Amino acid sequence: MKKIIFIGAGNIATNLAINLGKNNYQIIQIFSKSLVNAKILADKVNANATNDLSKIKTADIIILSIKDDIIEDVLKLHHFENIVHTSGFKDLNVFGTKVKNFGSLYPIQTFNKKINIDLSETPFLIECSNKEFEKTIIKLAHSLSSNVIKINLNKEKKFI
C-alpha cells in the first residue's frame, strides 16, 4: 500500500484524499497552514494532521494541492521527494533542479470539499520528470479515473 501525504486541505486535496483512500492508498498525513483545516481532512481519511512543515513525515508520494501563488514559497521551506502538484497553470520548472522525482497530477474538474465527487470519468493530465516516477503517478491516476492523459508540454498529448 502506497503512503501519501497531502500538502493542502482544500477542495482538490479533500476529494483526491478521500478517493485515494478508497483505492488502496494510505493517506498518512495532511498539512495545512490552518491546523483546523488539516484536522478536518485528516479525520475523514484517518491521517495525522499538522501545520508545521518541519514535521512532515516520509511518504511514497507527496501531493502538493495548494494555491498556485504559494507553491514556490512552500517548496523553498522544505525539501520534498516524490512530489506532484495539482496545478493546471504551473509547469514542472517550479520544482527546480534539486528534486529527482516530481510531476503534475492535474484533474480537469471543479471541486468542492463539501461534495464527494466520483472521479472515475474525470480527465487527469499527467506530466513527470522521469519515466519511473511517471509509472507511479499513472498508476495512481488510474486508481481514480479511466481517463488519464500523459502530456509533455514540448510534445503533443498522448492518451494512455
Q: How confident is the model at residue 65 (pLDDT cuts 50, 70, 90)?
A: very high
**Overall number of domains in the chain:** 1
Res 157 pLDDT > 60: no
CA-wise closest residue to 117 among 24, 26, 17, 28: 17
**Rounded distance between C-alpha atoms, residue 6 and residue 17, angstroms:** 8
Res 18 pLDDT > 60: yes
CATH of the domain at 131: 3.40.50.720
Res 141 pLDDT > 80: yes
List the domain range (segments joined by +) for residue 15.
2-159
| pTM greater than the 0.75 cutoff | yes
Res 131 pLDDT > 70: yes
CA dihedral 135, 141, 146, 147 (to 10 degrees): -90
| N-to-C CA span, the chain | 23
**Rounded distance between C-alpha atoms, residue 136 and residue 128, angstroms:** 10
